């Protein structure tokens, strides 16, 4: 809690401080092998697959470096969030088909197989 209370809230110019209670929404992410996110912009054309360790590390780095954002993403005022980079594994829907847009097609296939235990 000391590290969290000292973290910056970048869109408010203050520190997080000592909230009386906290609900940690990162718990489902830390218990999953991967987290999928479909960006609703443009009719849900973007699919992102974050591997657990990649996403948790990005959250840590963002919280320490950039700080938290309070009330982001049309959430309630008491929500603290961080912005993370796009994952290595991402696809874009084009003409009804999903096309890989990540870092490496070969890496994509191997990473997905590993996640699925194949």
Judge whether 105 and 89 are in contact, CB under 8 Å: no
Tell me what the mean pLDDT of segment 100-115 comes to.
76
Q: What is the pTM of this model?
A: 0.75
Domain boundaries, the chain: 2-116
Tell me what the mean pLDDT of segment 28-37 comes to.
89
Band (pLDDT 50/70/90 cuts) for residue 64 is confident
Q: What are 45-63's pLDDT values in tens digits?
A: 999 999 888 899 999 898 8
Tell me what the mean pLDDT of segment 9-33 comes to.
84
Q: State yes or no: pLDDT of 104 exceeds 70.
A: yes
């Amino acid at each position: 809690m000391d590290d969290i209370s000292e973290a910056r809230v970048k869109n408010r110019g203050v520190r997080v401080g000592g909230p009386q209670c906290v609900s940690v929404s990162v718990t489902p992410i830390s218990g999953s092998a991967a987290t999928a996110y479909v960006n609703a912009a443009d009719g849900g054309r973007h699919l992102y697959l974050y591997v657990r360790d990649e996403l948790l590390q990005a959250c840590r780095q963002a919280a320490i470096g950039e700080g938290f954002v309070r009330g982001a993403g049309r959430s309630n005022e008491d929500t603290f969030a961080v912005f993370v980079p796009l994952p290595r594994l991402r696809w874009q829907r084009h003409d009804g088909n999903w096309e890989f847009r990540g870092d490496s097609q070969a890496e994509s296939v191997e990473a997905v197989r590993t996640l699925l235990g194949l």
